[in-house]
Amino acid sequence: MPLYKEQGIVLRTMKLGEADRIVTVLTQGTGKIRAVAKGIRKTRSKFGARLDPFTHVDLLLYKGRELDIVTQADIITSFRELRGDYNRFTAGEMILEAADRVIEDREPNTRMFMLLLTSLRRLIDPSSDAGAVADSYLLRMTSLAGFRPALTACAECGKPDVARFSIQQGGMVCDNCRTGGTIRVAEGTVPYLTALLDGEPDLADLGARAEGSSLVRAYLEYHLNRPLRAWAYVPR
């Protein structure tokens, strides 16, 4: 069996048999993989906590037919700070859930990997807001998947005079182009969404945050066709 090296972030683990686990890892070069960590649930396992969710690890793996096998794991960043902070941990869990649901197996996408890594780094920065980091991750990931919302001009005709958001039509739409269900958004919502994509959102505008955050979820669920259960548990 061929041996290969990768670095990645552990998204999820599940028990396998008596002593093993299957770990799901978003890697930099191979995309999302699933691999068996043998003996990891034994007390003296060489893996210890190296393959816990959130951990950024260097891996040595055997390529298997269906599942690969982890032979070596070394921590690059543990992100263990998340475990001591409920808000950050919950936001982090939602980020991992979204990555696991949306990203397909073995489709290499370095930008998707880097987005996850930088989002986890922002999440452990004490000056960041956990809910905003989570929403920013969701909107950027949806954009990377090919559905960047139109925010400053109409999604259909490009005219700049827009006041309504249409989930189905892909963002803000003008009165001529809008069809079916649209939402007249509050004044601060578009600046909030724009900042989630490209800058630092204004966290003081609570109405914009609440509306923006709900739109991000609905937009992702509609375009990527994946429910996000953990979204509701993130404190905002």
| Minimum distance from residue 175 beta carbon to Zn ion (Å) | 8
Out of 157, 198, 206, 207, the only residue in the binding site for Zn ion (CB under 5 A) is: 157
Given the complex with Zn ion, which of 55 and 169 has the nearer CB atom? 169
154 binds Zn ion (CB under 5 A): yes
Given the complex with Zn ion, which of 26 and 177 has the nearer CB atom? 177
177 binds Zn ion (CB under 5 A): yes
172 binds Zn ion (CB under 5 A): no
CA pseudo-torsion sign 54, 85, 198, 222: positive
156 binds Zn ion (CB under 5 A): yes
Site string for Zn ion, 115-134 (x = CB under 5 A): --------------------
138 binds Zn ion (CB under 5 A): no
174 binds Zn ion (CB under 5 A): yes
114 binds Zn ion (CB under 5 A): no
By CB under 5 A, name the binding residues for Zn ion: 154, 156-157, 174, 177
